Amino acid sequence: MVFTNDRTVNPFAVGYSTDAIYLPKEDMFVAVFMNQRSSLAEIIAAKLTAIAPDRPDTIKAITLSDSVLQSYTGVYIGDTVKRYIRISDNGLYYQREDSRIKQQMKPYAIDKFFFENTSVMGEIKRDNANRITELLIYNNRYPSSPAILKKIDLPLPAKE
């Protein structure tokens, strides 16, 4: 499977985005063009590609106990920006300290998540004593090193 990303955002225009995926084995090319600035083109392209033969959308959310979900909550830091993981609205949510946007994290296995309506994945790493040490975040469409967020011992700020 070969992925290409032609997403383009013009910061001086109202906005547009595109996304394209090519599957050589299936001889399939999917392109989505949108007249708005968002990640929706990527989401639609991934969903359309999942329709291809032998390419079902196989990542399904599972239910974890409240105590397991609670264990993931806390403050994580990568670069210089803190990220907060907390339980809200009956789900697990990720939020950057400099943003009001919350992104739902849905578990598909113990310590593994997908971020709802994106191609972003997360994986919890633990030490030998089974304590959470890191959250790795990567985009499963674009091969690269994951962002490594270290769990730090700070209390979550009050909800906004």
pLDDT of 156? 93
**Partners of residue 106 on adjacent β-strands:** 114
HEC readout, 30-49? EEEEECCCCCHHHHHHHHHH
> Which one has a higher pLDDT value, 27 or 10?
27
Question: How many Cα atoms sit within 13 Å of 4 on the Cβ side?
Answer: 12
> Is 105 strand, coil or helix?
strand
Question: How many Cα atoms sit within 13 Å of 128 on the Cβ side?
Answer: 0
Residue 75: enclosing H or E segment and its boundaries?
Answer: strand 74-78
Query: For the segment 40-75, what is each residue's pLDDT rounded down to a tens digit?
Result: 777 777 777 776 655 555 678 999 999 999 999 999
**Partners of residue 30 on adjacent β-strands:** 21
Query: For the segment 84-141, what is each residue's pLDDT rounded down to a tens digit?
Result: 999 988 899 999 998 888 999 999 999 999 988 777 889 999 999 999 999 999 887 6
Q: What is the DSSP letter of 24?
A: T
Residue 72: enclosing H or E segment and its boundaries?
Answer: helix 66-72
pTM for this entry: 0.67
